[in-house]
């Protein structure tokens, strides 16, 4: 019984011990699985207290770089310990140029000071020729090679004509072609005055290049004094003016510059006699507004060698256009002759018979239906009209009846010119003539002239009884 009891006891204890072993093993297994992470894709087991990085086959401590959680003190945490992916391997940099940390592929990083002290905005060391404009280095521009806007070749200067450097990509402002030369100043061989712009700048000089090079002489001529291009201009002879090419033009230089107006002239040259003398075919240099012009009656200059067309005498006068003292160029046989009422030419600047106000308005020589003749005193050579105080019996105010009187206004004996249709104008005042002359005593010519036409009538008969407004009986 004791043996059996002992055996039973042993068996019972063995069972208990085995149960504890199983329980311990189970606990150990559970504890290991809870405290350790398996990086299954890479067959990596992390030790107790470590975890697998969320985006890398490495083990990291929880709360440190690589756990995929941005913890205090970290700039980022993308779950790996790699750089060059937007978060540095130590989780201290977002790898953005300008954050003050030199990251992978960066040569420098001065943070907010980038592009101010030798580190570029893309975190590379700055130098002339790197293609990045760095004013802190004294650069005015930065290109590797010469360009239209920058001298390359480690110059890093904005190109200008006259800087002594030939940039064959650069077209000076206003110029047509890139630089062909640059001597730093004008020479007989190069237009390169410092800071020069415009056509011809930094080109081999020639008359007509539109660049005034005071060191250059066109073939057969003197040093340039102007250059407006190949053709003549108002201010410069072109390159076809022989000895006066690229010289300031003048009347009398022997070259006809059709774009040039001599001093005081209003016309372009169309002739030029060497020395500037008057001739039958050309006004000289003293002809004022018509210097170096082919002479004509009406040009305002009396050329004593010239006969106007249609005249058999040289000019008697010439004031340019019709004036009070001279007929102009359109006066036919009396062109450039002294004007007179009756010469058959209407000179609208001429005042006949000492008229201080009216100039010629017509010129038929005698009274006609449209014009007063030379004996009409202050109305001489004026278009005939009722009211001019001259009785022109060839003039028909109403188109049918000649003037019978003309006192310039309504009077007791003569009608003025107040009827738009002319009826009764400049005729003796009388009742019934259709012209209301209140100065002659008329109150009406018809009932509509009365103040109360519905209650009144206009009486008939001779003045003063006629043409009165009377109440109806």
Q: Express each pLDDT in 402-413 by its tens digit.
A: 999 999 999 999
The token pair that represents 236 in the structure block = 């410069």
Residue with tokens 């056509």: 199
Q: Is residue 242 very low, low, confident or very high in pLDDT (cuts 50, 70, 90)? A: very high
Instruction: Taking residues 62-75, report their average pLDDT.
Output: 93
Which residues have C-beta within 8 Å of that of residue 346, sequence separation ≥ 6?
360, 361, 362, 363, 381
Does residue 401 form part of some domain? no
pLDDT at residue 397, rounded to an integer: 92
Give the total number of structural domains in the chain.
1
Domain that holds residue 216: 159-248
Average pLDDT, the chain: 88
Does residue 180 form part of some domain? yes
Residue 39, strand partner residues: 44
Contacts 24+ apart (CB under 8 A), 418-422: 422/386, 422/397, 422/398
pLDDT at residue 29, rounded to an integer: 38
- Residue 190, Cα to own-chain centre: how many angstroms? 33
Q: Which H or E run contains 253?
A: none
Instruction: Taking residues 164-189, report their average pLDDT.
Output: 95
pLDDT at residue 327, rounded to an integer: 92
For residues 331 and 327, give the distance between their C-alpha atoms in angstroms, rounded to a whole number: 6
Asked if pLDDT for residue 28 goes beyond 70, the answer is no
Residue 471, strand partner residues: 456
Does residue 325 form part of some domain? no
For residues 24 and 5, give the distance between their C-alpha atoms in angstroms, rounded to a whole number: 28
Does residue 215 form part of some domain? yes
For residues 243 and 332, give the distance between their C-alpha atoms in angstroms, rounded to a whole number: 43
For residues 417 and 421, give the distance between their C-alpha atoms in angstroms, rounded to a whole number: 10
Instruction: Taking residues 86-106, report their average pLDDT.
Output: 95
426 burial level (CB within 10 Å; 0-12, 13-18, 19+): buried
Residue 151, strand partner residues: 157
Asked if pLDDT for residue 22 goes beyond 70, the answer is no
Residue 51, strand partner residues: 60
Does residue 226 form part of some domain? yes
pLDDT at residue 193, rounded to an integer: 92
Does residue 305 form part of some domain? no
Instruction: Taking residues 395-405, report their average pLDDT.
Output: 94
Give yes or no for a contact between 348 and 327, defined as CB atoms under 8 angstroms apart. no
- 456-458 and 59-60 strand pairing: unpaired
- Closest by CA position to 294, among listed 256, 240, 325, 327: 256
The residue that leads in pLDDT, 248 or 473, is 248
The token pair that represents 28 in the structure block = 């150990």
Does residue 58 form part of some domain? no
Q: Express each pLDDT in 439-457 by its tens digit.
A: 999 999 999 999 999 999 9
Query: What pTM, to 2 d.p., does this model score?
Result: 0.46
Scored b (16 or more CB within 10 A) or e, 195-215 reads: ebebbbbbbebbbbbbbbbeb
Mean pLDDT lowest among 38-42, 100-104, 129-133, 381-385: 38-42
pLDDT at residue 15, rounded to an integer: 42
Give yes or no for a contact between 440 and 449, defined as CB atoms under 8 angstroms apart. no
Asked if pLDDT for residue 231 goes beyond 90, the answer is yes
Instruction: Taking residues 67-88, report their average pLDDT.
Output: 93
Q: How many residues does the chain have?
A: 473
């Amino acid at each position: 019984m004791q043996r059996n009891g002992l055996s039973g006891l042993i068996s019972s204890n063995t069972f208990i011990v085995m149960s504890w072993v199983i329980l311990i093993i189970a606990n150990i297994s559970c504890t290991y699985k809870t405290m350790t992470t398996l990086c299954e894709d890479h067959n990596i087991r992390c030790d107790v207290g470590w975890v697998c990085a969320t985006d890398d086959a490495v083990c990291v401590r929880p709360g440190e770089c690589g756990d995929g959680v941005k913890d205090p003190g970290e700039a980022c945490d993308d779950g790996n310990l790699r750089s060059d992916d937007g978060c540095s391997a130590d989780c201290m940099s977002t790898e953005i140029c300008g954050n003050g940390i030199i990251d992978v592929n960066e040569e420098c990083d001065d943070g907010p000071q980038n592009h101010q002290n030798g580190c570029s905005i893309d975190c590379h060391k700055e130098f002339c020729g790197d293609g990045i404009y760095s004013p802190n280095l004294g650069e005015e521009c930065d290109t590797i090679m010469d360009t239209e806007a920058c001298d390359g070749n480690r110059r890093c200067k904005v190109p200008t004509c006259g800087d002594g450097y030939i940039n064959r990509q650069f077209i000076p402002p206003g110029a047509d072609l890139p630089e062909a030369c640059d001597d730093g100043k004008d020479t007989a061989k190069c237009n390169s005055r410092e800071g020069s712009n415009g056509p011809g700048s930094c080109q081999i000089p020639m008359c007509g290049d539109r660049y005034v090079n005071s060191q250059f002489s066109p073939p057969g001529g003197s040093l340039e004094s102007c250059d407006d291009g190949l053709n003549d201009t108002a201010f410069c002879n072109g390159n076809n003016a022989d000895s006066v090419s690229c010289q300031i033009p003048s009347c009398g230089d022997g070259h006809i510059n059709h774009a040039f107006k001599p001093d005081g002239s209003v016309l372009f040259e169309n002739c030029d006699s060497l020395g500037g003398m008057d001739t039958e075919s050309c006004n000289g240099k003293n002809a004022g507004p018509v210097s170096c012009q082919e002479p004509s009656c009406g040009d305002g200059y009396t050329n004593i060698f010239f006969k106007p067309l249609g005249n058999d005498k040289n000019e008697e006068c010439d004031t340019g256009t019709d004036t009070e003292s001279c007929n102009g160029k359109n006066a036919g046989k009396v062109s450039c002759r002294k004007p007179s009422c009756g010469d058959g030419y209407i000179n609208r600047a001429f005042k006949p018979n000492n008229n201080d106000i009216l100039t010629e308005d017509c010129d038929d020589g005698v009274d006609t239906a449209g014009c007063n003749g030379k004996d009409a005193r202050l109305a001489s050579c004026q278009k005939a009209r009722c009211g001019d105080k001259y009785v022109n019996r060839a003039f028909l105010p109403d188109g049918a009846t000649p003037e019978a009187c003309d006192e310039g206004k309504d009077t007791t004996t003569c009608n003025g010119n107040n009827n738009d249709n002319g009826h009764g104008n400049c005729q003796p005042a009388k009742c019934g003539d259709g012209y209301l002359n209140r100065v002659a005593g008329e109150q009406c010519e018809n009932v509509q002239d009365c103040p109360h036409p519905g209650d009144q009538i206009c009486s008939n008969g001779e003045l003063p009884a006629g043409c009165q407004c009377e109440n109806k009986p």
